[in-house]
Structure 1
């Protein structure tokens, strides 16, 4: 039996983290509808299971220390949410070469890309964007497992 809900969880986490990364360091309101396509509640006003799963993912990210928020808006959004320092460092950090998707040949230049562009391509945030844009669910899962497990390097003195 396929664990589709786990694949959805990884995708929801990736999209939520990237949305917050795009707003960083500003606080924002993160709506479930920003992550999944809008789903209408049933005739009693109860949100769908998919909607609740996405909302649960957002709450989980905050409870695990990947984001901070001030309040919820029903089951629809987290208000005044921002990435934690740890998440920002992880998303903007460089990945090991084996986790990076190569730069497609049509985007490579001769001479090679400037070091700053090549470095930006190797960040976790950029690799997550690439995996989502190319619908690579397995790559999203691998990148987020790395994100959730990665030890931070000791601070430089």
Structure 2
């Protein structure tokens, strides 16, 4: 079992990527509270560790070339964020069939009667990320984000 902060990192990354993919190619403000939940700064104006971890995950996505943004809005949001070409292409790509079977088992019977173009859309990495988020299992979210961005990129 991974450390809880690592599982939260994967979930934050998944939510941010889904939000940006849904808005692509528009630039949008990416708010930490929309990803990690509400946060009340303490009496000194400092955010919680959870809030700062999510903000750090967003900054990390930019450092790793998965998103771009114009500026930060304090420590609360990224201003005018958008996926990079590489992130968009990777999320839009079909996942390997073994991964699609692993993450799509619950939905497999429904998918069988669909046209090939719809089945192709349902086999993309972004669809698998959305499915994992809907299911809410942190280990599945972690595995699909790892498979999407950290596995062998030669597929």
Q: Runs of 4 or more off by more than 4 Å in structure 1? A: none
Equivalent position of 1:126 in the other structure: 127
Equivalent-residue separation in structure 2 for 1:45 and 1:103 (angstroms): 45
Consecutive unaligned residues of structure 2, counting only runs of 5 or more, are none
Equivalent residue number for residue 146 of structure 2: 145
TM-score norm. by structure 1 comes to 0.90
The alpha-carbon distance between structure 1 residues 146 and 71, as it changes in their structure 2 partners (threshold 3 A), is same
TM-score (norm. length: structure 2):
0.91
- How many residue pairs get aligned? The number is 151
Cα distance in 2 for partners of 1:105, 1:92 equals 20
Q: Kindly report which structure 2 residues correspond to 1:1-157, keeping only aligned pairs within 5 A, or say none.
A: 3-100=3-100, 101-102=104-105, 104=107, 107-108=110-111, 112-149=113-150, 150-151=152-153
Name the one with the larger helix percent. Answer: 2
| Deviations, residues 54-96 of structure 1 (Å, cap 9, x unaligned) | 0000000001100001100000000011000000000011001
Distance 1:78 1:3 in 2: 26
Q: Closer, same or farther in 2 for the Cα pair 1:22/1:94, shift >3 Å?
A: same
- Deviation sequence 1:12-36 (CA, Å, 0-9, x none): 0000011000010010100001111
Unpaired runs of 5+ in structure 1?
Answer: none
How far residue 98 of structure 1 moved from its aligned partner, in angstroms, is 1.4
